[in-house]
């Protein structure tokens, strides 16, 4: 297992280097001059030249790429063109907020969605099932910035129950996590329902019931455990995406997360920030995928036994060679 994890982490290095190379090249050759964008419409040629010189933008492509890679290997992601703040410090400062929002939203969504999805599957075509299916259709279709604004108007403005913006404490978390969670919830509900429906028709469920197992055990142990792989896959993907920041949610609720920071850097052509951000996200996505793969093994003994069998084989081979 340890060897598997370390190999997966080492595999990420060439991927990340590829990401750096591709992003840098695309940005370098895309139209627009970062110095001019920062200085604005009224800037003179002299000002643009001075700033380009200061930021090292006059150097040729190869020199700039090499310099970036060299700094990166020393762990330095550079400083933002726009506000001269250290990119890595800025990302690390914003990441906890994004992580908190992502974790809360996914937890909120997953708990409700899995329960609702299970009930909806075992009571297929019931009123409850129709409500759940209807809700998930609605949840997927509603644009979340709109939902966010509506919640603010209703809950903060008319009812005066919760603050409208900011991210300073539990009271402030509620609206963003609901807004963010609804979209995720809809997806998880649908996949839980369909995956459960598939499983509860299997013979081994009938066997479990036939041997007199209590219904709750049948559902949670025999059925859910077999239905969980696609659910975990989806939640993993959603979580990976959520860690990139929820731009619209952050904008509407004024949350200082990663999403808005990265999107702003793209419109400002702030190359060090875009680079650092994308690199960080690629790394996170890799880690989340790895965690999901490990979870597979945890929930499905067939997968983990594959590793074990491989390992046993390797040990045997080794023993043979030693002989």
Residues lying near other proteins in the complex (CB under 8 A): 31-33, 35-51, 54, 82-85, 90, 93-94, 149, 152-153, 156-157, 160, 163-167, 250-254, 256-257, 260-261, 267, 269
CB of residue 144 to other proteins, shortest distance in Å: 13
Q: Which is nearer to other proteins, 44 or 323 (CB)?
A: 44
- Separation of alpha carbons 188 and 230, rounded Å: 9
Of 185 and 262, which has the nearer Cβ to other proteins? 262
Q: What Å distances lie between residue 30 and 21, 23, 45, 62, 278, CA to CA? A: 14, 11, 20, 16, 17
Residue 46 or residue 323: which is nearer to other proteins going by CB? 46
Separation CA 63–CA 82 (nearest Å): 21
The Cα 194–Cα 227 span in angstroms is: 9
Joined together, the tokens standing for residue 147 give 């939902």
**Cα–Cα dist 306/123, whole Å:** 36
CB-wise, 31 or 212, nearer to other proteins? 31
Residues 181-220 as b or e (16 or more Cβ within 10 Å = b): bbbbbbbbbbbbbebbbebbeeeebeebeeeeeeeeebbe
Measured from the CB of residue 294, what is the shortest distance to other proteins in angstroms? Answer: 33
Distance of CA 17 to the CA centre of its chain: 20
Q: Least distance to other proteins from the beta carbon of 85, Å?
A: 7
Listed residue (64, 103, 77, 104) closest to 283, CA to CA: 77
Rounded distance between C-alpha atoms, residue 166 and residue 184, angstroms = 22
- Comparing CA positions, the residue from 295, 218, 207 lying closest to residue 5 is 295
Q: Pick between residue 230 and residue 256 the one whose CB is nearest to other proteins.
A: 256
Closest approach of other proteins to the CB of residue 65, in Å: 21
Q: How far is the CB of 138 from other proteins (least distance, A)?
A: 22
Task: Closer to other proteins by CB, 55 or 223: give it.
Answer: 55
**Strand ranges, E, within 120-188:** none
Nearer to other proteins, 46 or 321 (CB): 46
Smallest gap from residue 230 Cβ to other proteins (A): 35
Least distance (Å) between residue 50 CB and other proteins? 3
């Amino acid at each position: 297992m340890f060897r598997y994890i370390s190999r997966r982490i080492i595999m990420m290095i060439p991927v990340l280097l590829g990401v750096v190379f591709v992003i840098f090249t695309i940005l370098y050759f895309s139209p627009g001059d970062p110095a001019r964008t920062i200085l604005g419409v009224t800037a003179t040629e002299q000002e643009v030249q001075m700033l380009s010189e200061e930021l090292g933008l006059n150097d040729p492509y190869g020199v700039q790429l090499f310099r970036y890679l060299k700094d990166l290997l020393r762990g330095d992601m550079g400083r933002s063109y726009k506000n001269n703040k250290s990119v890595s410090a800025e990302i690390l400062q914003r990441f906890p907020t994004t992580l908190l929002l992502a974790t809360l939203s996914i937890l909120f969504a997953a708990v409700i969605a899995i329960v609702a999805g299970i009930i909806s599957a075992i009571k297929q075509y019931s009123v409850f099932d129709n409500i759940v299916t209807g809700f998930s259709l609605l949840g997927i279709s509603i644009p979340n910035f709109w939902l966010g604004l509506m919640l603010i108007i209703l809950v903060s403005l008319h009812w005066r129950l919760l603050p409208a913006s900011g991210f300073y404490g539990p009271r402030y978390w509620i609206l963003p996590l609901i807004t963010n969670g609804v979209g995720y919830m809809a997806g998880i509900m649908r996949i839980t329902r369909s995956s459960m429906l598939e499983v509860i028709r299997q013979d081994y469920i009938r066997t479990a019931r036939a041997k007199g197992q209590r219904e709750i055990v049948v559902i949670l142990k025999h059925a859910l455990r077999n239905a969980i792989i696609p659910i975990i896959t989806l939640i993993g993907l959603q979580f990976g995406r959520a860690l990139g920041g929820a731009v619209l949610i952050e904008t509407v609720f004024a949350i200082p997360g990663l999403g808005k920071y990265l999107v702003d850097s793209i419109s400002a052509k702030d190359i060090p920030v875009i680079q650092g951000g994308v690199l960080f996200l690629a790394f996170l996505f890799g880690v989340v995928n790895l965690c999901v793969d490990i979870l597979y093994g945890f929930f499905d003994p067939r997968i983990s036994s594959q590793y074990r069998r491989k390992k046993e084989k390797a040990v045997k081979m080794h023993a043979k060679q030693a002989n």
